[in-house]
């Protein structure tokens, strides 16, 4: 399914190149895994070698890059190959399993803007062979279905701050939250490796121990592919009159306006806002 999301086309034609592709669960943080795992990370991963995908022990998983055409044949071909390897073959233009059941998948959204954003994704899925659709519901129904995990696929944002807490990680990725209505474990992730790494991170006594556990967790989550990383931005966007002073350096996380800026009398006078 991830091979059907043409971020390069979407970013250029819908976002006007305003975003970057997300790769990590903890994008733009010290916990974003890169390259091969360190010996310390491998020590945490090794007990789960039989459970984990091989990619967890190699280079950190990176999402495919398209040619930006909106219909990259190589990506579509690879998507079909992966489905065929999993036992789904195209019959009448639609993926079907050995029992003749089609692969139907619905993307749930709550705002018309996301219909525009994700329609090309749905069209790519259909081109490959998925019986894909998009459903727009109001905010109340969206929240109700989200709470009850009553969806096939949904797009959600995630942010864990500068030092993710065990509770925030567990609510999103831990087996204990997979079947709890209202949790953020939307894919229903259940993994002994993920659970253990979250517990290790939560019990870490030093920043180094915490970082190693988080890097290993990022590798595992990316290798599992429970989520399709979408996009992110390196900054916050705000329009304001040029009459404020700013504290430097600015924080890496958050945009707490009341702590970052104040009225600059000279600037305000210069634009007639004093």
User: Contact 95/130 with Cβ under 8 angstroms?
Assistant: yes
Break the chain down into helix, strand, coil percent, rounded to 5: 40, 10, 45
Closest CA to 41 of 214, 172, 179, 176: 214
Q: Which tens digit of pLDDT belongs to each residue from 213-252?
A: 999 999 999 999 999 999 999 887 888 899 998 877 777 7
* pLDDT tier for residue 255 given thresholds of 50, 70 and 90: low
Q: What is the pLDDT of residue 239?
A: 83
Give the model's pLDDT for residue 93. Answer: 95
Range list for CATH 3.10.105.10 in the chain: 2-232
**H/E stretch holding 111:** none
In this structure, the strands spanning 104-109 and 89-91 are: unpaired
C-beta of residue 57 within 8 angstroms of C-beta of residue 49: yes
pLDDT tens, residue by residue, 56-115: 999 999 999 999 999 999 999 999 999 999 999 999 999 999 999 999 999 999 999 999
Q: Helix, strand or coil for residue 268? A: helix
Assigned CATH for 2-232: 3.10.105.10
């Amino acid at each position: 399914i991830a091979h059907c999301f043409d971020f390069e086309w979407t970013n250029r034609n819908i976002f006007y190149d305003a975003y970057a592709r997300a790769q990590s669960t903890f994008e733009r943080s010290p916990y974003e895994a890169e390259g091969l795992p360190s010996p310390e990370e491998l020590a945490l991963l090794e007990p789960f070698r039989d459970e984990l995908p091989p990619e967890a022990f190699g280079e950190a998983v990176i999402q495919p890059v398209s040619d930006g055409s909106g219909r990259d044949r190589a990506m579509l071909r690879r998507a079909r190959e992966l489905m065929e390897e999993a036992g789904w073959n195209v019959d009448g233009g639609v993926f079907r399993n050995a029992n003749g059941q089609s692969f139907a998948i619905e993307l749930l959204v709550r705002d018309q803007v996301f219909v525009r954003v994700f329609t090309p994704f749905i069209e790519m899925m259909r081109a490959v062979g998925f019986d894909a659709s998009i459903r727009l519901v109001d905010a109340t129904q969206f929240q109700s279905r989200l709470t009850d995990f009553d969806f096939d696929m949904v797009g959600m944002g995630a942010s864990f701050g500068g030092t993710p807490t065990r509770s925030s990680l567990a609510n999103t990725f831990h087996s204990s939250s997979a079947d709890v209505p209202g949790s953020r474990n939307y894919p229903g992730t259940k993994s002994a490796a993920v659970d253990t790494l979250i517990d290790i991170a939560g019990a870490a006594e030093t920043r180094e121990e915490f970082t190693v556990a988080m890097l290993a967790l990022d590798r595992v989550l990316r290798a599992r592919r429970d989520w399709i990383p979408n996009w992110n931005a390196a900054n916050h966007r705000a329009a304001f009159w040029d009459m404020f002073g700013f504290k430097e350096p600015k924080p890496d996380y958050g945009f707490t306006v009341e702590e970052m800026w104040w009225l600059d009398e000279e600037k305000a006078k210069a634009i007639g806002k004093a």
